[in-house]
Structure 1
């Protein structure tokens, strides 16, 4: 690519492209190319001016080389990037706005008054008809106000006032629609499906490949607890699929060969082989955007109250206008009252506040699936933590493999990784990563893998039954035994580690010791959460009481429960809610899913099980727990901002009505100030809540 450097400081460079007119697709391609470079921390491509700003780390020459070597045709961009970029949307609405202003100015300057009056008269019928339809359905809402104001102006022959009112209403409609669609698009992009690896069925073998390489009609295997990565048709297997993220259904749906499955749903039970219809998860973005726009279940109660209050105030505005006419017999003063309504600002500013807060949470690597969950976060007074992968680090490591059957530690680790790689959990990931670090490649020699939630994994390897999991699963449920003469060795296992037990043919083969250190920030985060309004912090874990007690003492929770099963966590959450408490549950595993669903707000760790992320209402990054504090502050700040917006909207518009009745403001001036105030309050609602 040819370009000239316009501005250059350390860590930031702005250049002007010289390759001719840039299309929207080319701008998105360049944006994707820069965003995916390791040395680029941020990039912005302005299509019309062909200006490119790049913030980077490292050497300036590296960025210049990236730009010089860039060619549009060499970049393989996922189709979902083009579909969800938002660039076309912004340009479409900007052109609508500019065209409307130009047409209005041109008509005022070049068209004689009779023609302008005729145009205003023709346009007025659209607004009058909307008002009539609203009344016909028994609704006294904003269209009735608009129709009354415009109709009175037309009836009086004041077509300039009618035209000005319609122009301002049109500008407001464009800005409202643009702002809403942009906010929804930003949120949908943050929630879009992002699955890096999938199991491709090739020549009868499951091969782990990049999801971007999957083509239409490929066969993909989905194991229990995983997200369905693509739209497709079930070719083999049976399972129960949770479709709540797309349809709102609370009960999993049975899927058998011939049934359709959709990207973003979760396989809760069973195993499915699907034939892919749509790759790259593009369809998930469209469905999320539609869901956010249409689904009332994601709206917070304050948004619902805003809409209800806005419509409820319309009759009072009409009554005020009627009273003004009755006492003053002044049409201008009456119109000034009709030009002001509370609805526009309430219906626009409050939802924008919510969507802006969700976007701000996204900037903190926190994905919130709807406004009502931020409201619940603000109201929450109890927080329940899972231990492993939550209060402890999200990346536990294998400290030691203790053999009990005479085989080498590497061979036993190879077998354990072969079982564990099919299921997303921090402990399983530790085993798989340890095998990978030791270059222990393992072919798929086992039969179908069965995962028993909160217990372990069972399969058959070369005709021998192999299981791996907790002490309770291996020794109590499966009745496995120790090899003769290894009792002392078993008793001497290091107590500071968590243990995974591997057994073959009913006999213990190895114990894998997992180091699971406490997150260094955990104690400070818990204190900060209490400062932000949380009064009760609880830890629940399936670990032994000794391990749980040690962790609880270090992090400073108010209470802890050890050796609990998934249903125990969910039961505790329900009991707390029955006491009138608002509960947040934080976990990362399949076994946390029931409690995540039961809580007022379920929060999943991003590195945890995919089913936990899909079922949860909020997902936080795995880097550190301070994101929970940021989430709480954003929720608290959102409620304060909404209260402030209520006061500002009602106060300012009441003042406009009073000035109109007093004859100080003309109708067009009232309309202009009203629309300006709506825009200003809406723009202010987009400001960050946490500075």
Structure 2
């Protein structure tokens, strides 16, 4: 909590105490003037709040209703009762501010994890710089027990880094030369020298912060409905109270009805629940881009999954290498495949490069490189045209244009092997077999989704059809399609939507970007450090833990359930039952103030529970 907030809260408490002291004196004294001064002191902050709301948002908030109630109280000589009402309002608003601040500042508190200075190395010497003075390219030294101040790549050292602030995973990750580290994470043991790539608002943390701020503007349908209801009810409520006065001429009854205020709180507590939900998801390592994504995810009844990196662990390894052209040895095939994949971010890249490293093969940079999403990669090196990709990539007339009959297959199809082909100057020259393991918890997660009401689960992959169907059978997925290109995934999702399904798509956020955008809810796995994945998805999971999808799905349902509870509590209890009791003369203005304040506080605390 900042010093300014502490001072503001202290002044609020002091002001309430002063008003309370004046009230106690006015209660014991018979001075009419003293009662008026007390009422005026209690009325000032409420009137100021009403003026700000009217000017800022152009709506009739509850504060304005209290202002009108105070005016009516003056006319009807009900100053003492109205002072009690306003005191209750001031105390309730104080607690409301605390709850709202706790929710709204949750992201800001996480951002405080980023150090405001960094130890940098320049010209062989170490010095401490303010983070604003650190620039991309500078080498930052991070020691045991220090927070990481920048996004960058490790150039020297090895360390255990706790990334829980981004991924929600408490187990530290080993970082060594070539690995990325992110601002806001914490170095537990070891030491690193990191070449700075991004600082401040450009870091992953800064990007997430902007997304969270933008997310507040994306309203869920239930929130839009609450807005419409409140804006319709507010003028009707004013007319209704005016009608009651016209018929009864009962000042105390009018004051009591005015105390219940405007139902505009309903338009305020709905975003509170959504904000609390998005903050809670962020703490678990998921970025949710708005209330609409939360609401849709709570209602999904169809789930489409990619295979690689979603149902498999996403760490493939090269099982075998085969040369199909006598001009090239297996070592040549590995070297050229590594050149083609060196600039790629595809999961195949790490497997091929690791194989090259294990064989002590030097891999130069390609002269040119192009990645064809969902197909493969093309590169040139010293005049030679190299392609590496899937079977359909090699068959495509615009790429390999190689006859399918000439393409060999990996021998062991039982191990979920995938075949990738290498062409050199438009002729097939090699094949690489890669295997990836299924996640241990994959089957139980699929079963959980089925029990949770998901009617249709579909597995789509660009891999061989027999491999994809075998994976689906082992995991209990009834519908699976192999050899599916990115545009075919998009069409399949559109087909499901036409059949009336609300579809969530889980993929890697890069190859699957079109499908993620087309789905009702696009979920990108392992999005940390991958801005395209975050941009393409509605929900971005920072880690590759599929269990997080279940956690966020359950959270989305809790958020929608909380919003519905809040609407019932606010509209049905406060403005429904409360006004009926007032019309029956069961509640007086002071009782109405408590009747109004308690549900409002319960609504805020109910939303705040989502942060736990």
TM-score (norm 1): 0.66
C-alpha contact 2:99 2:608 (8 A) present in aligned 1: no
Greater displacement, 423-432 / 403-412? 403-412
CA apart distance, 1:127:
5.9
Change (3 A) 1:107 1:428: same
C-alpha contact 1:142 1:311 (8 A) present in aligned 2: no
In 2: Cα distance, 1:429 partner to 1:337 partner: 68
- Equivalent residues, number: 527
C-alpha contact 1:394 1:622 (8 A) present in aligned 2: no
C-alpha contact 2:273 2:610 (8 A) present in aligned 1: no
Deviations 1:38-96 (A, max 9, x none): xxxxxxxxxxxxxxxxxxxxxxxxxxxxxxxxxxxxxxxxxxxxxxxxx43xx654543
Task: Return the match for 2:255 from 335, 356, 359.
Answer: 335
CA apart distance, 1:292:
3.3
Change (3 A) 1:357 1:122: closer
Structure-to-structure mapping, 1:49-128, within 5 angstroms: 87-88=1-2, 92-93=4-5, 95-109=7-21, 114=33, 117-118=36-37, 121=40, 124=43
Deviations 1:148-189 (A, max 9, x none): 213223444655555554555455555555544543443588
* Counterpart for residue 660 of structure 1: 582
Deviations 1:367-393 (A, max 9, x none): 322111121112211111112221222
Change (3 A) 1:550 1:166: same
Task: Return the match for 2:273 from 328, 349, 353.
Answer: 353
SS of equivalent residue, structure 1 residue 590: coil
C-alpha contact 2:309 2:544 (8 A) present in aligned 1: no
In 2: Cα distance, 1:401 partner to 1:284 partner: 41
Tell me whether 1:553 sits opposite 2:473 in the alignment.
yes
Tell me whether 1:593 sits opposite 2:513 in the alignment.
yes
Tell me whether 1:315 sits opposite 2:235 in the alignment.
yes
CA apart distance, 1:363:
4.2
Deviations 1:345-365 (A, max 9, x none): 423432222223333333443
Change (3 A) 1:468 1:610: farther
TM-score (norm 2): 0.74
Structure-to-structure mapping, 1:465-544, within 5 angstroms: 465-476=385-396, 477-479=398-400, 490=408, 493-495=411-413, 496=415, 497-544=417-464
Q: Gapped runs of 5+ residues in structure 1?
A: 1-86, 195-211, 220-228, 231-262, 264-273
SS of equivalent residue, structure 1 residue 343: coil
SS of equivalent residue, structure 1 residue 391: coil
Deviations 1:606-649 (A, max 9, x none): 15864233211012354542332333322333333332332222
Change (3 A) 1:565 1:289: closer
Higher relative contact order structure (alpha carbons within 8 Å, sequence separation ≥ 6): 2
In 2: Cα distance, 1:353 partner to 1:676 partner: 18
Structure-to-structure mapping, 1:42-441, within 5 angstroms: 87-88=1-2, 92-93=4-5, 95-109=7-21, 114=33, 117-118=36-37, 121=40, 124=43, 130=50, 142=62, 144-156=64-76, 158-173=78-93, 175-176=95-96, 179-180=99-100, 182-186=102-106, 215-216=134-135, 280=203, 284=207, 287-293=210-216, 295=217, 298-341=218-261, 343=263, 345-404=265-324, 409=330, 412-435=333-356, 438=358, 440=360
Tell me whether 1:676 sits opposite 2:595 in the alignment.
no
In 2: Cα distance, 1:659 partner to 1:278 partner: 53
Deviations 1:444-484 (A, max 9, x none): 432232111111111222332222211222354433779xx
SS of equivalent residue, structure 2 residue 260: coil
C-alpha contact 2:316 2:437 (8 A) present in aligned 1: yes
In 1: Cα distance, 2:280 partner to 2:209 partner: 22
SS of equivalent residue, structure 2 residue 522: strand
In 1: Cα distance, 2:250 partner to 2:200 partner: 66
C-alpha contact 1:128 1:150 (8 A) present in aligned 2: no
Deviations 1:513-537 (A, max 9, x none): 2112222322222222122111111
C-alpha contact 2:99 2:605 (8 A) present in aligned 1: no
CA apart distance, 1:570:
0.9
C-alpha contact 2:527 2:533 (8 A) present in aligned 1: no
Q: Gapped runs of 5+ residues in structure 2?
A: 27-32, 115-130, 139-149, 152-182, 184-196
* Counterpart for residue 572 of structure 1: 492
Deviations 1:383-406 (A, max 9, x none): 111122212222222223334456
In 2: Cα distance, 1:161 partner to 1:678 partner: 21
* Counterpart for residue 572 of structure 2: 651
C-alpha contact 2:335 2:363 (8 A) present in aligned 1: no
CA apart distance, 1:139:
6.0
In 2: Cα distance, 1:557 partner to 1:147 partner: 61
Change (3 A) 1:101 1:178: closer
Change (3 A) 1:555 1:191: farther
In 2: Cα distance, 1:419 partner to 1:599 partner: 32
Change (3 A) 1:619 1:169: same
Deviations 1:314-365 (A, max 9, x none): 2343344334434543322221111114625423432222223333333443
